[in-house]
Structure 1
């Protein structure tokens, strides 16, 4: 074969190898969401790429056959194309003829190999990774043509591959399910790239957490519930409304754990405007209240609100004792976070670069996010920062009690009637052992 013909053949083989490399990586890296967008825009080739992703056997089989065939031909042609030229060059440099022939073959091999690595492998794969969907829709049709031409060979190797995959227990199709972790990872990447603002990133994380956060992390605690007793006088009801203006009030009989229902403040106002006495025993004034267990997630709570056509619920524990109340606004505030929370209601206040003042009722996911922690010990046993301290200390914390964990010191600053109000979290030695150390 003439040198010119050999060089042209090598160029053709390099082009084919580059095509196979781009076809392999671009289809594997193509995102289904982006392909669907291309399909909606009228590019039917996107559907062919998605079909390949669903049934990749024939496609990748023909690519592997092509790549290996090209590699073998390149070795045969390359040695004959460049060895004489390299030998002659070495002769001109004064190298012994026998040595120049041997080293000419080595240099020819290195040159052909380098060309294939650079032009037929690295550059095409980089292009396939940089714009996978664009490349995939352009190469999928040529690859399907090759699959048709070499169909008998493809069928044979595909069946052998299917047999080996079955014996090894490997899946036949890739799993394209998008998990919450995938969404969080994409949101994090978007925030780091500047595509998402910090508040928008936070909202996405909060929405995903609705399936894991319990209602107790967003409720109004038992000690803060403003409620009426059935026998309360009109003077007492008026005074309590003036002191604690709310849209809804719980009504109980004898104690907060004996819930009768709730009364809407607009109905009380209507009685005042009509010069009627305010009596909780008036017929039709008390509404039936939605009662839910304290182990519901916020996502389940939203479903309960939707099915019951209510926006207010009482949360009880396994002993039927009231632990708090929750409204649909509480759930929405959890989702929106700092976008709607007034500054005076912030539960986490960053004092400086290495310290935070945190409310004891703050939900653990919020604490972990603020401190950039991946996990806390015995995390399934508590929902709030106060619960974390109780579990770690194995008793009711007192003022100045502290726990050290993973480079942070959690110190109780204020306790009110056994309730932890404020906790000072300080960053200590980052190299400290990640074992809890209760400090008296």
Structure 2
């Protein structure tokens, strides 16, 4: 009967250890958003668990005290009771009698340690990870009571720990609680698990990328701008508006650097309904000018403050470099919207031989994503270019000609088409093997 009582006490101690381990992992691994949602639905246990997770030091100290005491008591009790009874069993064998005491203590400690690890640590932790919020809500109240009861001892331990840390001159980390890379990893894992759609992942990644992009990477370049010359007749400008699918047009006098304002199709039509004839000049409204170095988040703020959805982009000398719209920002997040009758023109196209045909105006971020290129390219970190054409010119340090090629980031880039002095098309092919120590940017030539 005494054996059963002793075994029962050991089982109770292991059960207490399991409860502590279960509570610790459940509360620590619970998502605060889910606990908050449950608390708003009236779950008082979830509210307490949320409080413990937001201020975990007293709770974790209490858990550590409990686990330590349980381990000490289990080992001491087993050594004093079970080991003593087991020792009498070994003394029945003459060749084991001299070692009976040490053998019995060793065997009892090993068995108790094994049972405590499996049933007191590993199994409850695995259970807690499977359904942390439900378990945390259930154990929160007794754990809070236990934390209050152990508060004096926790205070002593906390004070002692802080004193030792200060003595060792250990500085606390001031890093951010969650980094952008960690969020990206969580989104990837959620997508693989089916929690998020692949399209949702792409949109969130697009939003993250916007923070590092400048206006010049989104804008329609100067040579592609369709603008209205106010010195032309109204009929000529109407024909120009009809030939494009745009809703807004820059209006200028003399040259494109002398922008007078913006003309919307809506304002022109409204004026025609009132007067019966078109008047482009009367439809001109005040434009919004932004520098080409402006970050996209700041551009969004400018759109909100001005109430406009289109802006003209200036360089440091005041010359017009392009035009950017809210539609451009949306396309940077969700991808290109093809208009009715528009021919599909992808900036990066995979060819049958495995190489990539890249439009010169393709943004370097888009190109790296399509090519799965993770290396930092030459000059990229300093912001020396935004497009693949800019990269080519930066690396070659001259106006390229067709046939120019170089190696960069494990790929061979070759200029296959030029439009005047502008790089129109670039061919990228992965290099099968790069010898160690060789330079990534090499073999430049015609």
TM-score normalised by L of structure 2: 0.88
Q: Distance in 2 between matches of 1:412 and 1:24?
A: 60
Q: Secondary structure at the match of 2:284?
A: coil
Q: Please, which of 288, 291, 294 is the counterpart of residue 290 of structure 1?
A: 288
The residue that corresponds to 1:244 in the other structure is: 244
Q: Distance in 1 between matches of 2:147 and 2:356?
A: 62
The residue that corresponds to 1:226 in the other structure is: 226
Deviation at 1:132, TM superposition (A): 2.5
The residue that corresponds to 1:403 in the other structure is: 406
Q: Distance in 2 between matches of 1:430 and 1:126?
A: 44
Q: Distance in 2 between matches of 1:252 and 1:123?
A: 75
Q: What are the equivalent positions in structure 2 for 1:144-155 lying under 5 Å apart?
A: 144-155=144-155
For the aligned residues, what is the CA RMSD? 2.8
Q: Secondary structure at the match of 2:418?
A: strand
Deviation at 1:307, TM superposition (A): 0.9
The residue that corresponds to 2:389 in the other structure is: 386
Deviation at 1:224, TM superposition (A): 0.2
Q: What are the equivalent positions in structure 2 for 1:56-205 lying under 5 Å apart?
A: 56-83=56-83, 87=87, 96-165=96-165, 168-171=169-172, 177-205=177-205
Contact 1:348 1:357 in 2 (8 A): yes
Q: Secondary structure at the match of 1:381?
A: coil
Q: Distance in 2 between matches of 1:421 and 1:388?
A: 13
CA distance change for structure 1 residues 350 and 190 in 2, over 3 Å: closer, same or farther? farther
Q: Distance in 2 between matches of 1:358 and 1:200?
A: 25
1:421 matched to 2:419? The reply is no
CA distance change for structure 1 residues 401 and 12 in 2, over 3 Å: closer, same or farther? same
Deviation at 1:371, TM superposition (A): 1.9
1:52 matched to 2:52? The reply is yes
TM-score normalised by L of structure 1: 0.89
Q: Distance in 2 between matches of 1:392 and 1:178?
A: 36
Q: Distance in 2 between matches of 1:425 and 1:24?
A: 53
CA distance change for structure 1 residues 49 and 375 in 2, over 3 Å: closer, same or farther? farther
Q: What are the equivalent positions in structure 2 for 1:209-224 lying under 5 Å apart?
A: 209-224=209-224
Q: Distance in 2 between matches of 1:430 and 1:40?
A: 58
Q: What are the equivalent positions in structure 2 for 1:292-307 lying under 5 Å apart?
A: 292-307=290-305
Q: Distance in 2 between matches of 1:291 and 1:75?
A: 76
CA distance change for structure 1 residues 66 and 304 in 2, over 3 Å: closer, same or farther? same
In the alignment, structure 2 segments of 5+ residues that lack a partner are none
The residue that corresponds to 1:439 in the other structure is: 444
Deviation at 1:353, TM superposition (A): 7.8
Q: Distance in 2 between matches of 1:364 and 1:85?
A: 76
Deviation at 1:240, TM superposition (A): 2.2
Deviation at 1:309, TM superposition (A): 0.9
Encode CA deviations 1:73-112: one digit per residue, 9 max, x unaligned: 1111222444356556667888532244433332222111
Encode CA deviations 1:94-147: one digit per residue, 9 max, x unaligned: 853224443333222211111111111111222233333222222222222222
Q: Select between 325-334 and 32-41 the one with higher mean Cα deviation.
A: 32-41
Q: Select between 96-105 and 291-300 the one with higher mean Cα deviation.
A: 96-105
The residue that corresponds to 1:374 in the other structure is: 374
Equivalenced residue count is 437
Contact 2:291 2:314 in 1 (8 A): yes
Q: Distance in 1 between matches of 2:435 and 2:86?
A: 62
Encode CA deviations 1:40-85: one digit per residue, 9 max, x unaligned: 2221222222222332222111111111111111111222444356
